[in-house]
Chains A and B, each alone.
Chain A
């Protein structure tokens, strides 16, 4: 029977966190943990286990029910859980549906937060592990490489991963729109809540160097400031230091507003009207909304930021439809390749490519001989070229045929031959292999 691609898995849609925890497969090695044992049912396997999804991809000669039973048994066995429980929560895909699902996962179309970038890295790690453990073969190799390039294509051709979808990222993006690079800017946290901390962390990751923390309890201010390598102060000193801050993140628990528009106006004058960006994530609000009416002051409260995030998410969802079209195209391409992994189309491709080269060279040579070449010479040259092609490709073809006869599966060699003679006209980027080497070191 021909080899088939199967995919079994559970994710945040089919199983909640408790189930996902129970069936996590980190550390699972298909070779040692029974999935790829001597019966040879599963020839290639890849295991992806993250907090939002656990998936097993395998290539097998067996039929669907057989492979599914085996996977369920080993999976539940490894986790010491009940097979029935697992059966109720998994989805299974076969062949091109499995390919489609994998491509969608790689492009983060199946993620909880649509378009989040981590999943691609996790998939790359899973693939690296399968290569190290030698559970990936011709098909999984190709499949994963194609899923990476499909994900890359989607990232560049659609906006599915662009624009911030968390409140703190949205704030950082706005800050960049106002100030450009943030490396010369200074931020002040008023109130040292968790939200403020997160936003400050994002700012620091975006290049900001200097952070001040003002808080009602000085200990907490100091603690936070130390973590960010910043400067701490008590609340009373806040106003007199405010003019040094370009970005202000306010999140106190105060019941009344702590900064009026008039105060901000004064501060602005003190800093010669350099722009200020206020992010008010406190409820009730800390900063007088009228401050936004001042020139060079930009004030966003939590609702404004939520709206930005909502719009960005809606934008991503729209883009996801386009991304799915790309996935479809890539799946078609993969399916073409899969079909070509048989012996006869490869032989046909090999000979026709050879003939193509021969005809090209023949034309060139005849032209170089000038216009007075007699027909006999032309024919002789054509014969020479064609027989050279036949002779040169004879040995590789015999080799492939023999392997096919002796080992049952000659996919490995067919794939190799297709690559050596470049039968699929692939454009391989110059650094493709270098980067792989670099990672291994």
Chain B
């Protein structure tokens, strides 16, 4: 309930900010981070609706809170968004990557819980009161499935649109930006998982482990590169 209310207010905040300064807002790093927090909740509600799985609020709510407070904490920096192409490609780039990141985040939470519960059932240890409240293994595997099936194509679209946008803006596709390198690595790992998953070769524990790895990599690239290095992905002031 509280999460829903927070989500509503947050949406309002984003819409208002957008409406108030349509041109300016898109150049503020704060806006993007806030948008990311919003996507986490969006995907959480999507999974709740789709799989009737409320349990993931355990990942969604703290993560959204963390990212949102993070967005308030950083000093508002103005980003040099290269002019003419900011429309379609840029929107596609940000939108699809954020949604796939949010999917990854939820699958990360589901994966950690899956491994924990799977381990308990496998080793036949006593299911305590906490484990009793956890939904079934199958439901977490479904989250993983959705995250891979929807998340990978979106990730691909996001990466491709980024390259196309770069091609228009900087007249070159690949700039050897560290972010781009790590993104391509993630894409290959993700592609492998996607393939194993749809072929039915992997289910349960392995995809859960993989998605945890992929999420940690994306997070590292998002936090590490956008904030600590000097690239064109930098959100630093």
Contacts and interface: CB of A to CB of B under 8 A. Distances in A.
Contact of B132 (A163, A275, A308): A163
B121 A174 contact: yes
Contacts of A272: 200-201, 203
Interface in A294-319: 295-296, 298, 300, 304, 307-308, 311
A134 interface: no
A296 B122 contact: no
Interface string B176-216: 00000000000000000000000011111110000000000
B137 A275 contact: yes
B136 A180 contact: yes
B117 A177 contact: yes
B139 A274 contact: no
B137 A178 contact: yes
A176 B136 contact: yes
Contact of A292 (B117, B122, B136): B122
Interface string A165-195: 0000000001011111000000000000000
A238 interface: no
Interface residues of B, number: 23
B85 interface: no
A159 interface: yes
Given A273-B201, A300-B124, A177 B136 contact: yes
A180 B127 CA distance: 15
Contacts of B127: 177
A304 B138 CA distance: 22
Nearest to B199: A272
B76 interface: no
B129 A178 contact: no
Contacts of B136: 176-180
Contacts of A300: 124
A180 B204 contact: no
Contacts of A162: 132
A304 B121 CA distance: 11
A201 B141 CA distance: 28
Contacts of A174: 121
B121 A180 contact: no
B201 A177 contact: no
B137 A273 contact: no
A311 B132 CA distance: 14
B135 interface: yes
Contacts of B50: none
Contacts of A179: 136-138
A295 B204 CA distance: 8
Contacts of B131: 177
A295 B117 contact: no
B171 interface: no
Contacts of B202: 273
Contact of B204 (A176, A296, A308): A296
B209 to A, nearest CB: 11
Interface in A257-302: 272-275, 292, 295-296, 298, 300
B55 to A, nearest CB: 11
Nearest to B123: A292
A273 B204 contact: yes
A179 to B, nearest CB: 5
Contacts of B139: 180
Nearest to A312: B126
B121 A273 contact: no
A378 B141 CA distance: 73
Nearest to A159: B129
B138 A178 contact: yes
A275 B159 CA distance: 34
A177 B126 CA distance: 13
A319 to B, nearest CB: 11
Interface string B129-155: 101101111110100000000000000
A159 B200 CA distance: 40
Given A180-B138, A273-B204, A295-B203, 7 more contacts: A163-B132, A174-B121, A178-B136, A272-B203, A296-B204, A298-B121, A298-B122
Interface of B: 117, 121-122, 124, 126-127, 129, 131-132, 134-139, 141, 200-206
Interface of A: 159, 162-163, 174, 176-180, 272-275, 292, 295-296, 298, 300, 304, 307-308, 311
